Amino acid sequence: MTHQSPDTEPAVPDSNHAAWNEFCRNLAALGERRLVLLEGDRSRALDWLAGLEGSLQPEAVLWVGFREQSPLATANVTEPRKAARWLGRELDWVVWDGCAGNPPDGLAALTGTLKAGGLFFWLMPPLAQWSGFEDPDYARTGLETAESHPFAARMAAILQSHPGVVRPGPDGMPLPFPADRATKPFRPGTTPDQEALIERLVRLGQGHRKRPLVITADRGRGKSAALGIAAVRLLRAGRRRILVAAPSLGAVDSLFRHAWLEAFGTEPAEPASRLTLEDGGELVFLEIRELLARQPAAELVMVDEAAAIPAPLLKAVLLGWPRVAFASTVHGYEGSGRGFDIRFRAVLDAETPQWQSATLAQPIRWARGDPLERLAARLFLLDAGAPTPPPVKREPEVTLWSPASAPETELSEAFGLLVSAHYRTSPGDLRQWLDDPRAVSWVLRTGDRLAGILWATREGGLDLPLAQEITLGKRRLRGHLLAQSLASHSGFPEAASQQLLRIVRVAVPADLRGQGLGRRLVAAATCWAAEQGLDAVGTSFGGSTALARFWEGCGLQFVRAGLRREASSGEYPVQYLKGLSQSGQALQQRLAGRLAEHWLTLVPLNWQNMEPALLAQLSASLPAPAGMTADDRRDLYSFARGYRGYL
């Protein structure tokens, strides 16, 4: 139930600690959590929070903001941009100071840390002011110059009427209790489907080879706990070594905590990466690349947070050990894992056709239907799903489209389509899509149904002196990813001074791919860019043969490959460009020609581990190299003077 106050009167609560204490007890009995929105008078709200903390004495509290501004005596402290690192912990309170910045990924992540009875306090201006609020986090992603912020305005509209939001008023009235009192108090613990998963994992660890298990679940369903408990039961049953792989040690904190509880009845004193039983059986964590480099023997390998691991690495694990379990978050606060589910399924079907799947639906730390979980899903579209394409074929139609002004249902479908087609789509991407003043989007419809989406952003157009400083490595701006990358790595300042349209994402439903719909979207964007007088259209993506074929089929030219694999995709970034104006076409030819001249020298230095098929395709797409040019002499001069590096 929502207790609201007028936006014209700042909502700051008076002391009513007894009511809050009973409210929290009732929430815990129901297995629910709540967002408490503290609007308006910030200093008074901070004083009130300090008093409430002293009265209620929550055990685990996190203050998100500047350390020196925390009013809380017992709180841990973190910065907003580091908040997502707390995912996997269990907290009673989160107190988020919106004046320190509001990165969506961190906000969404911390809603998953609160246990039943927990409160998420959010200090912000009145809701009516959100669209014009100068969030300190905007500068991090180049949004500080935007005239309006539709993402914040949308959140404010949702919070205004959402039944799961508590907005205490200045009158100090007692909080409204949840309407339904608990007949049987909620108790966090192992759920029936989690226990069934533990049994399946034990059978996997003792069973036939090459029958991997793929586990998918929303955040908070206990998949990591199930992995840890099952690992200990397998070790007690006679297995000698079980390995755990993940993107980082922090990702398996929950797994080892539950393994420790199962084995010894207590939690580890500090984050653990190894567990050894009395008979020598051991559970050992290795970062995914270390696992593949060392290739240690093990009866079972468990891969947690698999959605954050590149598909080629997952395939290497699949083929490298006899028994493997992959666990992935589907609707995760840090980004969706459905791209993993779609991409990796083809690998599983080809390599291990007897693979199995399992899902977890019931939350373990809060009750099903928890208001805070529902609110987070609504605010950040965590449960957005791709639309089901219509069975009747109709002529596709491509139109310009604005996500910021779209109806909520259509926005959810469009974002769900981006999620399903990309290896990682986060709440931060949603804000960038809605708020970026340089963004342009197109939708493709077949009849009344959404069948494709393209998100692009305008880049470049920088004045020549600034472009030259970027080329010399003296300046680096936020945004302008493709324009700055091409300028700084090629030595051509016009790559930053010309106006480009960078295509950020193209997404088509899985069962409609291969029908030319993506190319229609790219053609529409290219036509629009030419009409607007832009010089070129381009893109940057994690390289794969399928994507390289797609972009070459759209008429774009390969012009650059990154020197290091992307952390998100595990693939080398590859950049393509198509000149539209005369100067844009000249830039495309210069970039491709320059790369071709040095390609055979650069490959053994930088791309020895690139997938052979991709390397062959990129090589074949380049023009024939020429002899030494004026550009060579210019590069030698820049290197000799220290303006540019060797590569």
- Which CATH number fits the domain that encloses residue 606? 3.40.630.30
Is residue 198 domain-shared with residue 143, that is, in the same domain? Answer: no
Buried b (16+ CB within 10 A) or exposed e, 393-411: eeebebeebebbebeeeeb
Mean per-residue pLDDT for 466-492?
92
Give just the sign of the alpha carbon dihedral 624, 628, 629, 631: positive
Is the distance from CB of 211 to CB of 352 less than 8 angstroms? yes
Picking from 396, 616, 577, the residue whose alpha carbon sits closest to that of residue 494 is 577
Is residue 544 domain-shared with residue 500, that is, in the same domain? Answer: yes
- Flag whether 647 is in a domain: no
Q: What is the rounded average pLDDT for all residues in the chain?
A: 89
- Flag whether 391 is in a domain: no
Q: So what's the pLDDT on residue 14?
A: 57
Of 335, 360, 385, at which residue does a domain stop? 360
pLDDT digits (tens, 9 = 90+) for 269-300: 888 899 999 999 999 999 988 999 999 999 99
CATH code at 161? 3.40.50.11040
Is residue 497 domain-shared with residue 611, that is, in the same domain? Answer: yes
Cα–Cα distance, 142 to 146 (Å, whole number): 8
pLDDT digits (tens, 9 = 90+) for 42-99: 888 898 899 999 888 999 999 999 999 999 988 999 999 999 888 767 899 999 999 9
Cα–Cα distance, 352 to 342 (Å, whole number): 16
Q: So what's the pLDDT on residue 4?
A: 44
Is residue 277 domain-shared with residue 130, that is, in the same domain? Answer: no
- Band the pLDDT of 569: cuts 50, 70, 90: low
Is residue 140 domain-shared with residue 204, that is, in the same domain? Answer: no
Cα–Cα distance, 327 to 114 (Å, whole number): 22
- Flag whether 634 is in a domain: yes
Outline where 422-515 has alpha helix (H): 427-435, 464-471, 481-490, 494-497
Is residue 233 domain-shared with residue 137, that is, in the same domain? Answer: no
Mean per-residue pLDDT for 8-21?
66
Is residue 466 domain-shared with residue 571, that is, in the same domain? Answer: yes
Q: So what's the pLDDT on residue 542?
A: 87
Of 109, 131, 166, at which residue does a domain stop? 166
Cα–Cα distance, 174 to 609 (Å, whole number): 64
Residue labelled with tokens 């701006």: 477
Is residue 470 domain-shared with residue 615, that is, in the same domain? Answer: yes
Give just the sign of the alpha carbon dihedral 537, 538, 539, 540: negative
- How many distinct structural domains can be found in the chain? 3
Q: So what's the pLDDT on residue 392?
A: 53
Cα–Cα distance, 403 to 92 (Å, whole number): 36
Cα–Cα distance, 452 to 389 (Å, whole number): 10
CATH code at 268? 3.40.50.300
Boundaries of domain holding 40: 17-166
Is residue 222 domain-shared with residue 156, that is, in the same domain? Answer: no
What's CA 600's distance to the chain center, in Å?
A: 36
